[in-house]
């Protein structure tokens, strides 16, 4: 039982001893009803405080109660076929049936396995795999686990395992790439409302509060409208190396441009590194100079640069390292980035490359020394927004 606690901690889920003791107390009172389905939800409600961690909980749960390793994915097609091959000696499938299954897609295999689990009500005979019909599985017919949680053949236990196997909350993990909705929610956190509007605006909440304090004697409270003062500059790399991330960047652009919470929103483009110009329309060769971008800044501006920063070193460190259209100066790319870093105290760099791969690129380290850099994931964007605030 205690393995669940250590497994969660080992996976980075900060379950505290206090929360664990609370779970033990709840079980002592019988709140888990001595079945695994109720225990699954009871433990999750007491140990997990963030839905982004539900997927990790599901993996830990299946690991502890089926005794296997924690894989990157709970099952792959090769895993399932390997299990089926091992099961031949129990005569679960004929060689012809196994060969036929090899032509199934992973999704079809998983659906078939789930169907078998849901239909199974009789005793388990043979096998050792947790998703099979193994009698040695802790979820076997009529079996029991050392925790004192019973697993009856009428369905108690299968639901929790299937729940974990489905990994229903996978899309809530904080390390997946973003969709438009998630980006929109994250960007909304940039709202900084200040009392800068018209003075003669009725503050309804304050009026109600004041009236209540006056025992019903109405007192009108007026104030200024609250306006968002944030001016967002989104500058995105459209170089060839960014092509694999085009859809991801388009989602970010779509989310940012659809919001009406900003005082001002402008999007620009560059190729590999920011040089003399940033482009409003690449195809039409419409641009503004980087100098003008800096000159027209204000303290309300927030600069968000999106790019992989994975360029040839000479593109960053040599004055004429890249022949940009309409380029007139010989200022190095790294110096341009340094100028922007000084001009925009509130700035971040979002990198679509996996964070664990950043160390392979010297240019990423150089750019990361000038811009706070975050991965373009749910968690990364959330941390970036906090930095901008």
pTM assigned to the model:
0.52
Residue 177: what pLDDT?
Answer: 58
Residue 140: what pLDDT?
Answer: 35
Residue 135: what pLDDT?
Answer: 38
Residue 181: what pLDDT?
Answer: 72
> CA angle at residue 274 from 271 to 276, to 5 degrees?
110
Burial class (CB in 10 A: 0-12, 13-18, 19+), 91: exposed
Residue 322: what pLDDT?
Answer: 65
Question: What domain range is 377 assigned to?
Answer: 229-388
Q: Is residue 45 part of a domain?
A: yes
Do 222 and 238 have their domain in common?
no
Do 21 and 107 have their domain in common?
yes
Q: Among residues 206, 212, 227, 176, which one has the least CA distance to residue 382?
A: 176
Do 102 and 216 have their domain in common?
no
Do 37 and 149 have their domain in common?
yes
Q: Is residue 371 part of a domain?
A: yes
Do 165 and 100 have their domain in common?
yes
Number of domains in the chain: 3
Which of 185, 211, 227 delimits the end of a domain? 227
Q: Is residue 350 part of a domain?
A: yes
Tens digits of pLDDT across the chain (389 residues): 778 888 888 777 888 888 888 999 999 898 888 888 888 889 988 898 776 777 788 888 888 876 555 545 444 455 555 555 554 444 455 667 666 766 666 556 656 665 665 555 444 444 433 333 343 333 333 444 444 444 443 444 445 555 555 444 544 445 555 667 767 777 777 665 455 555 567 778 888 888 888 888 888 887 765 666 788 899 999 877 888 888 888 888 888 877 777 788 898 998 889 999 999 888 788 899 999 999 999 988 999 999 999 988 888 998 876 656 566 778 999 999 999 999 999 999 999 998 989 998 999 999 999 999 999 987 888 899 888 88
Cα 61 from Cα 43, distance rounded (Å) = 10
CATH, residue 311: 3.40.50
**Contact residues for 20 (Cβ-Cβ < 8 A; gap 6+):** 5, 47
Beta strand residue intervals within the chain, DSSP E: 193-195, 201-202, 222-223, 226-228, 231-237, 264-270, 277-281, 286-289, 301-306, 347-351, 373-375
Residue 298, token pair as written in the block: 């204000």
Q: Is residue 187 part of a domain?
A: no
**Contact 145/136 with Cβ under 8 angstroms?**
no
Do 17 and 165 have their domain in common?
yes
Give, to the nearest 10 degrees, the angle between helix 158-166 and helix 36-47: 50
């Amino acid at each position: 039982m205690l393995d669940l606690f250590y497994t969660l901690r080992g996976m980075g889920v900060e379950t505290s001893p206090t929360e664990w003791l609370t779970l033990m107390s709840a079980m002592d009172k019988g709140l888990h009803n001595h079945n695994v389905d109720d225990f699954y939800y009871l433990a999750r409600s007491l140990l997990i405080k963030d839905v982004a961690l539900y997927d990790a909980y599901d993996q830990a749960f299946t690991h502890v109660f089926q005794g296997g390793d924690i894989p990157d994915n709970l099952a792959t097609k090769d895993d399932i076929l390997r299990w089926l091959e091992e099961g031949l000696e129990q005569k679960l499938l004929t060689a012809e049936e196994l060969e036929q299954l090899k032509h199934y897609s992973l999704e079809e295999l998983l659906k078939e396995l789930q169907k078998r689990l849901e239909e199974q009500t009789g005793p388990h005979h043979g096998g050792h795999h947790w998703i099979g019909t193994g009698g040695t599985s802790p979820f076997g017919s009529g079996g029991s686990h050392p925790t004192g949680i019973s697993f009856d053949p009428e369905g108690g236990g299968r639901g929790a395992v299937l729940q974990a196997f489905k990994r229903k909350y996978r899309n809530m993990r904080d390390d997946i790439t973003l969709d438009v909705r998630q980006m929109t929610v994250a960007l909304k956190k940039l709202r900084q409302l200040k009392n800068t509007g018209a003075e003669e605006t009725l503050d309804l909440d304050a009026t109600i509060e004041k009236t209540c304090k006056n025992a019903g004697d109405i007192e009108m409270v007026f104030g200024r409208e609250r306006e968002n003062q944030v001016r967002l500059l989104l500058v995105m790399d459209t170089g060839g190396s960014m092509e694999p991330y085009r859809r991801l960047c388009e989602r970010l652009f779509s989310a940012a441009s659809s919001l009406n919470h900003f005082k001002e929103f402008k999007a620009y483009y560059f190729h590999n590194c920011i040089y003399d110009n940033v482009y409003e329309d690449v195809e039409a060769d419409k641009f503004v100079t980087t100098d003008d971008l800096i000159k027209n800044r204000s303290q309300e501006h927030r600069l968000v640069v999106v790019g992989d920063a994975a360029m040839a070193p000479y593109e960053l460190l040599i004055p004429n390292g890249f022949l940009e259209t309409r380029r007139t100066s010989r200022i190095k790319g790294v110096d341009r980035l340094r100028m922007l870093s000084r001009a925009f105290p509130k700035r971040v760099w979002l990198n679509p490359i996996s964070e664990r791969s950043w160390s392979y690129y010297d240019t990423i380290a150089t750019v990361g020394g000038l811009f706070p850099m975050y991965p373009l994931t749910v968690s990364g964007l959330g941390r970036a927004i906090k930095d901008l605030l």
